[in-house]
Chains A and B, each alone.
Chain A
């Protein structure tokens, strides 16, 4: 059997014929963006994307009948990105920030939060804003970034994230919450309405 003509369920009842070219074009950006956000580096993301996509098209026949394609791609990409990080052998030396540092010892807000200025769709469509959000993601500590990207950017369910990263569900939720709080803190100075 040539892998060029394998039929993949991809969550659809009849499945679409998936050629390697189609995998590269339609699913490549998903792999590339996930790797880029997890690794925070374009060159590393390109290497991981190439490894993942070639691995995927070579194994399309063994994939048949398993879970849907997005789940499979997420799983393979996460494994490849984590392996790439280990190979790079770079460890984060910076201290992990406390997401609740904006509260006083008595539990009050040390700086009073203000309403934000725009709606999500407007914020996300603006190039400058998009860059701000991407930068905030890149600056998240790795232990929070992986869970945050998988959950809040890619929409992967927490239970699946736990399986991919070898974490319990409470650990996934705890990291996700801390990641969200840090993201909120990073974005707030840019998005809060100026005082009248």
Chain B
């Protein structure tokens, strides 16, 4: 018999399939009978999925310009060094 809190503590290993079968059976049985735990597990999985779907914020235009200017400066410096 496991409590809801104990189920929550083992969720990562349970969902990754890293628990012994007897633990998995107990957790599976608990989730099937406990509505709050079912919603808890589903929301845990959704949290992971939505994080993976997060879009990337584009780099600010000013940063791109700063980078290009800095890179140009490095190249010019290297060219001067080569010439000496």
Contact = CB atoms under 8 A, between A and B. Distances in A.
B33 interface: no
B67 A24 contact: yes
B74 interface: yes
A24 B70 CA distance: 12
Q: Is the interface of A mostly helix, strand, loop or mixed?
A: helix
Interface string B44-80: 1011111111111111100110111011001000000
Nearest to B64: A24
Q: How large is the interface on A (under 10, 10 to 19, 20 to 34, 35 or more residues)?
A: 35 or more
Contact of A107 (B3, B42, B50, B60): B3
Interface string A125-160: 100011001100100000000001000110100000
A180 B46 CA distance: 10
Given A46-B60, A113-B40, A113-B43, A130 B51 contact: no
Contact of A29 (B6, B37, B44, B59): B59
Nearest to B66: A50
Interface stretch (A6-14, A60-68, A72-80, A184-192): A184-192
Interface residues of B, number: 40
13 contacts: A20-B71, A29-B59, A30-B56, A32-B63, A53-B67, A54-B70, A54-B71, A103-B3, A112-B36, A112-B39, A121-B53, A130-B54, A180-B11
B11 A183 contact: no
Contacts of A192: 43
Given A100-B9, A124-B55, A191-B43, 8 more contacts: A28-B67, A32-B63, A108-B3, A109-B36, A113-B39, A116-B46, A180-B47, A181-B11
B47 A103 contact: no
B53 A123 contact: yes
B74 to A, nearest CB: 7
Nearest to B53: A124
